[in-house]
A and B are shown apart, each in its own frame.
Chain A
Amino acid sequence: MYNKKKYLIVPFLLPLLIITAFFIFYPAIINIYNGAFTFRHKLDDNPIFAGFKNITWLIGDKIFWTALFNTGILIVLVVVVQVGLALLLSLLVDHINKKYASFLRIIYFMPIVISATAIGTMYLLFIQPTGLFTKLLFKDIFYWLPINNPLALFIVMAPVLWQYIGFYFVILLTGLSTIPEEYKEAALIDGASKMQVVRYITIPMLWNVLRTCMVLAITGALKVFDLPHTVALHGAPAQQTMFMGTYNYYLYSTNRLGQSAVYSVFIVLVGIMVSLLSNAVLRENKDI
C-alpha cells in the first residue's frame, strides 16, 4: 500500500533527524575533538591544543575514580534493592484484595512523577542537623555533612532508590498479570508449596519482564543527576558522593571544559558498554 508513497519517508523523518543531529549527535561527536583542547571559557573560539593532557588529567584525578566507583555501587544497588523490593512488593500484592491493590499502585507510583529537585529538597528537610530524621532517629548518623561519615554515600543514594521502586513495581505487576493462573493452580494441586510456585513458575515466567526492569534500572543509574545534585552539591561532603553526571557538571562548572569534553565521551562509551554488557549477561528467555 505505502510502497508507492516512499517519497514521504525523507520529509517525515527529517525533523527528527535534524533536531537529534544538532542536539545529540553533533555534541557527542564534537566532544571527541574538543577533548584535545584547553578552553579558557565556555564560548572560547581559540582553544589551546592540549593533546592527551585532558585524558591523563582525568585518570590522575581521584574524584574521577570516586565517581566511577559510586556509580558502580549505585548500579548494584538499583538491581538488588530497587528491582528486588519491587519484585517482593508485586508478589505480595498478588495475595490481597484487588481494590486495595489498585489503590496501592497509585500511591507507590506517585513519587516517580514528582521532580527530583522537589524530592531532594524535601529530603534535605529530613537529613539536616535540625531535620526530622536527625531529631527522631539516631541523631548524627543521618546527618551526612561531617566528612568522615562512612554512610554519606548511602544517605545520598537512598532517595534515588526510593523514588523509582514504584515504577518497577508497576511494570512487574503488569508482567505478573500475563502469567496464566492455570500453571500456578496445577502446581499447587500437585503439592507444590507457595514458595516453590514462586521459585519455579512465577520467577522463570516473569524473567523477561524482570530483565527489562534491571536493564532500565541500570541505564537509569547511569543517568542520575538531579537528585544527588540537589541533596549533595558537588558530591558533598568533600566530593565523596560524586556520580558520573554530577562529576561532569563539576568539571563544567569549575571551567575544566576540555576535561569535561573527554569525560562526556567517556560517559557515552560507558553507557554503550554497560547496556551491551547487561543485555548479554541478562539473557532473554526465548522459550516463554
Chain B
Amino acid sequence: MMKGIKQSNKTTKNFIAVLIYVALTLWALLAIVPFLWTFLASFKPRFHIVVRPLELPFNRYFTFENYKKIFGGSLNIFTSYINSFYISGLVVLFTVTISIFAAFVLARFNFKLKPIIEIVVIVCMMFPAFALLFPVIKILASINMFGTKTGVVLPQIALNVGFTTLLLTGFLKSLPVEVEEAAYIDGAKVPRVLMSIIIPMMRSAIVTSMIFVFIWSYNDLFLQMIIITDEKDFPISLLLNRLASKESGFDHGKMASAVILVSFPIMLVYFMLQRHIIKGLTAGAVKG
C-alpha cells in the first residue's frame, strides 16, 4: 500500500518535471522561432514565403535575390551601416565620458545640491523621447544640425546619459575609496587618479554602459525619424522602416532580409557579450 502511494507520487513528480521542461522550452521556441523563420524566409523567393511559409529553403529555390535587392536598392545599405556606426559611436563616446565625470562627483563628493542632481539624473532616464517634440527640432535648426545624422547625436546623448550615470555612480559607490586616498597621499593629482585608478577599477561597468548605449542608439527609430531628412544620412533602422512601409509595396522577401541585416550586428554583439549585457542591466535594476 505504502509502496503504491510512493510510486504514484514519484510518477506525478516526474510528470510535473516533464511539464516544467516542456513549458519552459515552449517559451524559448516562442522567443527564437520568429527570428529563425525570418532568417530562413530571407533565402526564399517572395512567392514561396507566402504560398509555402513552412518550407525550408534548402532546395532548388534557394536564392540570394532578396539580399541582392537590398544591396542594389535605391537606398544604400552600406552607407546606412556607416551612418549608424557614426551616430552610435559618437553617442557612446560622449555619453560614457560625460557620465564618468558625473558619476565620480556623485559617488565621491557630498554637497548641498546633490539630491537635486540625482533627481535630474532619474528624470532624464525616464523621459520619453517623443515628449521632446517639437522644440528639439527648433534647437537643432538653430545650430544648423536639423536634417543631418549629427543632429541625432546630441538628443540621444541627453536621453541616455541618465542611465549610464546612475549605473556608474552605483558601481563606484561600491568600490573602496582607500586606493584613491593612498594615491593622493603619494602626491598624485586628480586627472592621474581618474585615469590610472578610477577608470580601470570601473572597467566592467563602463563596458556594460557602452554596450547598452550602443544598442539603444543603434535601435532607436523615433529620434532618427523626426530629425534625419536627408536620405544620404539614413541610419539602418530608418532604412528598414522605409523598406517595411511604402517603398517595398510589401515585398516579403525584401522585408525578411532587411530584418536579418539590421539585427545581425546586434545579435553578434549579444552572443559575444551576453554575460556583460544580462548582468549589467539586471544588477542596476535589482539594486535600484
Find out whether the CB atom of A167 lies under 8 angstroms from the CB atom of B281. yes
Find out whether the CB atom of A27 lies under 8 angstroms from the CB atom of B132. yes
Complex-state Cα separation, A16 to B119, whole angstroms: 13
Contacts of A213 in B (CB 8 A): 285
Question: Cβ of B252 < 8 Å from any Cβ of A?
Answer: yes
Question: Cβ of A189 < 8 Å from any Cβ of B?
Answer: no
Contact of A225 among B53, B108, B129 (CB under 8 A): B129
Chain B interface, >50% SS class = helix
Say yes or no: A225-B20 contact (C-beta < 8 A), given A6-B111, A27-B135, A122-B35: no
B1-22 CB mask vs A (1 if < 8 Å, else 0) is 0000000000000000100110
Complex-state Cα separation, A275 to B123, whole angstroms: 11
Interface residues in B257-274 by Cβ distance below 8 A to A read: 258-259, 262-263, 266-267, 269-271, 274
B210 to chain A, nearest CB (A): 14
A246 to chain B, nearest CB (A): 8
> Which of B158, B190, B250 gathers the greatest number of chain A CB atoms within 10 Å?
B158
Complex-state Cα separation, A20 to B104, whole angstroms: 18
Find out whether the CB atom of B35 lies under 8 angstroms from the CB atom of A27. no
Contact of B135 among A26, A174, A271 (CB under 8 A): A26
Question: Cβ of B195 < 8 Å from any Cβ of A?
Answer: no
Interface size class of A (residues with CB under 8 A): 35 or more
Closest chain B residue, CB of each to CB of A22: B139
Question: Cβ of A13 < 8 Å from any Cβ of B?
Answer: yes
Complex-state Cα separation, A264 to B136, whole angstroms: 12
Contact of A130 among B50, B98, B109, B117 (CB under 8 A): B50
Complex-state Cα separation, A216 to B125, whole angstroms: 11
Interface residues in B123-170 by Cβ distance below 8 A to A read: 123-124, 126-139, 141, 154-155, 157-159, 161-162, 165
Find out whether the CB atom of A233 lies under 8 angstroms from the CB atom of B245. yes
Find out whether the CB atom of A95 lies under 8 angstroms from the CB atom of B154. no
Find out whether the CB atom of B130 lies under 8 angstroms from the CB atom of A245. yes
Interface residues in B29-44 by Cβ distance below 8 A to A read: 30-32, 34-35, 37-38, 41
B5 to chain A, nearest CB (A): 16
Find out whether the CB atom of A19 lies under 8 angstroms from the CB atom of B158. yes
Chain A interface, >50% SS class = helix
How many B residues touch A, CB cutoff 8 Å? 97
Question: Cβ of A149 < 8 Å from any Cβ of B?
Answer: no
Complex-state Cα separation, A109 to B279, whole angstroms: 11
Contacts of B78 in A (CB 8 A): none
Contacts of B131 in A (CB 8 A): 27-28, 31, 248, 264, 267-268, 271
Stretch at the interface among B59-67, B69-77, B214-222: B214-222
Find out whether the CB atom of B133 lies under 8 angstroms from the CB atom of A249. yes
Find out whether the CB atom of B101 lies under 8 angstroms from the CB atom of A12. yes
Contacts of A252 in B (CB 8 A): 133-134, 226
Say yes or no: A92-B222 contact (C-beta < 8 A), given A42-B138, A111-B31, A118-B240: no
A241-283 CB mask vs B (1 if < 8 Å, else 0) is 0001100110010000100110010011001000100000000
Say yes or no: A1-B262 contact (C-beta < 8 A), given A15-B98, A125-B38: no
A29-70 CB mask vs B (1 if < 8 Å, else 0) is 011001000000011000000000000000000000000000
Complex-state Cα separation, A250 to B24, whole angstroms: 39
Find out whether the CB atom of B255 lies under 8 angstroms from the CB atom of A121. yes
Contact of B132 among A19, A113, A264 (CB under 8 A): A264
Closest chain B residue, CB of each to CB of A95: B20
Say yes or no: A31-B158 contact (C-beta < 8 A), given A8-B190, A171-B285, A271-B128: no
Find out whether the CB atom of B27 lies under 8 angstroms from the CB atom of A108. yes
Contacts of B187 in A (CB 8 A): none
Complex-state Cα separation, A225 to B266, whole angstroms: 20
Interface residues in A191-241 by Cβ distance below 8 A to B read: 209, 212-213, 216, 219, 222-223, 225-226, 229-230, 233
Smallest CB-CB A-B distances: 6 pairs: A115-B219, A23-B158, A27-B135, A12-B101, A121-B244, A223-B128
Q: Could you jot down 9 A-B contacts, CB within 8 Å?
A: A16-B121, A24-B132, A31-B131, A89-B27, A105-B278, A115-B263, A115-B266, A122-B256, A171-B286
Q: Beyond A27-B139, A271-B127: 12 further Cβ-contacts under 8 Å?
A: A12-B102, A13-B101, A28-B132, A115-B221, A115-B262, A115-B263, A122-B38, A131-B53, A170-B281, A249-B226, A257-B134, A261-B135
